[in-house]
Structure 1
Amino acid sequence: MNKSELRKLIRNKRRNLSLRRRQSAARGLLSTLRQSSQFMAGKRVALYLSNDGEIDPQLVCDDLEQRGKQVFLPVLHPLRKGHLSFIRYTRNSRMKRNRYGISEPDFRFGQHANARYLSSVCLPLVAFDQRGNRLGMGGGYYDRTLEFMHQPGHKPALIGCAYEFQQLPQLPAEAWDIPLTAIATEAAFRRF
């Protein structure tokens, strides 16, 4: 299968999960991430709000906030086309819908963080493989935003969040793709 066919197949499978299965997976994701000492030690963590059937990290957001950690969400950058900015998120954040209909903090009112200086960035994905390759939605937002990962210097842990069924034996990788540090599913935490 090519990337487009894989995206269609797995996205349909995600969307067709029952509410009960999604809630169970969200609890499993929280449990899995709590088992990572590196993740739990981080002070500034980027997550995302689920969309299109993605595994939901909202319980993780709530847990981190209760532990006094700072949570950031990706926002479509209004000036740097094709890039993301990370803005602090709390229950009181001013939110708006972006052009894809995804809720995000309002760029004008939030505290911004450079991705390079976050402890961890948790990314949604369509599929992943055993080498840490990630198949995203195809927009390239995370790859462009995280291109500094190819350079020396401080780097956050990049943790893909997914359902266990999203693992494939091998994905095609392009030179510009940013490999993941780890994958967290409802069942396991895998380091690469």
Structure 2
Amino acid sequence: MTTDVAREAAGGLARHALDLPALAGARTVAAYVSVGNEPGTLPLLDALLTRGVRVLLPVLLPDNDLDWGAYAGEGSLARVQHGGKMALFEPSGERLGPDAVLGADVVLLPGLAVDGRGMRLGRGGGSYDRVLARLAGAGAHPALVVLLYDTEVVGHLPAEAHDRPVQAVVTPSGVRRFTDA
């Protein structure tokens, strides 16, 4: 994918995500900074910040759980290398603790794919499985939205007992909502 195509895809993703009713009324959104070949999230993060939304970004802990910090623009990010894993862009400010996600109105999730039931396939580290379990355990019910490319929406994925469906997937070409989620 060329830089121009990636930039266009990130813009489309942001436009469609910002049209989601859940994001329109959100005061706090837990999101992430895309890395590698993931759909670009910075235009969406900046648009949310411009709207006055509090944007929380993950900080990977040594046990693969996630802490959270506030996003204050691209200049507030630090590139952090986590051992043999890929480098991530994380907020450089104060750490808010793993439970900070409980105050989110919307949680934007990364993934490798999502199926027609809203079942999401992650990268296998379990970080977001822990986040989703934390939300469920606390009785928190934010909107769960996965951000993907169109080709990553598939017919069926295997699911385990701990997997939780998302309510919607946003791609550069549009939004698909899942009624069973």
Q: Secondary structure at the match of 2:134?
A: helix
Q: Secondary structure at the match of 2:76?
A: coil
**Does the Cα contact within 8 Å between 2:67 and 2:96 map onto a contact in 1?**
no
1:5-46 deviation line (CA, Å, top 9, x unaligned): xxxxxxxxxxxx221221111111111112211112101111
RMSD: 1.8
Q: CA deviation at 1:94?
A: 5.6
> What is aligned with 2:94?
109
**Aligned to 2:32, which of 45, 48, 52?**
48
Distance across 1 between alignment mates of 2:52 and 2:155: 38
**Does the Cα contact within 8 Å between 1:119 and 1:157 map onto a contact in 2?**
yes
**Aligned to 1:82, which of 59, 64, 67?**
64
**Aligned to 1:62, which of 39, 46, 50?**
46
> What is aligned with 1:141?
127
Q: Which moved more, 1:30-39 or 1:86-95?
A: 86-95
Does the alignment pair 1:172 with 2:154? no
**Does the Cα contact within 8 Å between 2:68 and 2:95 map onto a contact in 1?**
no
Q: Secondary structure at the match of 1:125?
A: coil
Q: CA deviation at 1:124?
A: 1.2
More strand by share: 2
Q: Tell me, which stretches of 5 or more residues in structure 1 are unaligned?
A: 1-16
Distance across 1 between alignment mates of 2:27 and 2:44: 13
Q: CA deviation at 1:151?
A: 4.2
> What is aligned with 1:3?
none
Q: Tell me, which stretches of 5 or more residues in structure 2 are unaligned?
A: none
Distance change in 2, residues 1:182/1:48 (3 Å): same
Q: Which moved more, 1:83-92 or 1:119-128?
A: 83-92
Q: Secondary structure at the match of 1:50?
A: coil
Q: CA deviation at 1:149?
A: 4.2
1:41-99 deviation line (CA, Å, top 9, x unaligned): 10111121111210011111111111111111111135xx2211221111253624140
Q: CA deviation at 1:147?
A: 0.5
Q: Secondary structure at the match of 2:90?
A: strand
TM-score normalised by length of structure 1: 0.83
Q: Secondary structure at the match of 1:71?
A: strand
Give the percent of matched residue pairs that are identical in Structure 1 and Structure 2.
34
**Does the Cα contact within 8 Å between 2:77 and 2:89 map onto a contact in 1?**
no
Counterpart amino acid of residue 89 in structure 1: Y
Counterpart amino acid of residue 66 in structure 2: L
> What is aligned with 1:24?
8
Distance across 1 between alignment mates of 2:101 and 2:94: 18
Q: Secondary structure at the match of 2:24?
A: helix
> What is aligned with 1:8?
none
**Does the Cα contact within 8 Å between 1:33 and 1:40 map onto a contact in 2?**
no
Counterpart amino acid of residue 61 in structure 2: H
Distance across 2 between alignment mates of 1:94 and 1:190: 30
